[in-house]
Amino acid sequence: MKNDFCYMLRVRYSECDAQKVVFNGRYVDYIDLAATEFMRATWGNYNDLLSKGIDLQVVSLTLNWKAPAHFDEVIAITVKPGKIGTTSYGLGLDFHNHENSKHLLHADIVYVMVSADQHRKMEIPGQMRQTLEKGAPGVRVNHSGT
Tens of pLDDT, residue by residue over 53-107, are 999 999 999 999 999 999 999 999 999 999 999 999 999 999 999 999 999 999 9
pLDDT on residue 3: 76
CA 4 → CA 78, 128, 141, distances in Å?
Answer: 6, 19, 11
CA 89 → CA 5, 18, 86, 133, distances in Å?
Answer: 17, 36, 8, 10
For domain 5-143, give the CATH number.
Answer: 3.10.129.10
pTM of this structure: 0.94
Banded model confidence at residue 1, pLDDT cuts 50, 70, 90: low
Average pLDDT over residues 7-25: 96
Question: Within 10 A of 19 (CB to CB), how many other CB atoms are there?
Answer: 9
Q: What integer best gives the mean pLDDT of the chain?
A: 96
CB of 85 closer than 8 Å to CB of 42:
no
pLDDT on residue 2: 63
pLDDT on residue 85: 97
Long-range pairs of 19-28 with CB within 8 A, sequence gap ≥ 24: 19/68, 20/70, 20/71, 21/68, 21/69, 21/70, 22/68, 22/69, 22/70, 24/63, 24/65, 27/63, 27/95, 27/105, 27/107, 28/61, 28/63
Question: Within 10 A of 32 (CB to CB), how many other CB atoms are there?
Answer: 13
Question: Within 10 A of 56 (CB to CB), how many other CB atoms are there?
Answer: 19
Domain assignments of the chain as residue spans, ordered by start = 5-143
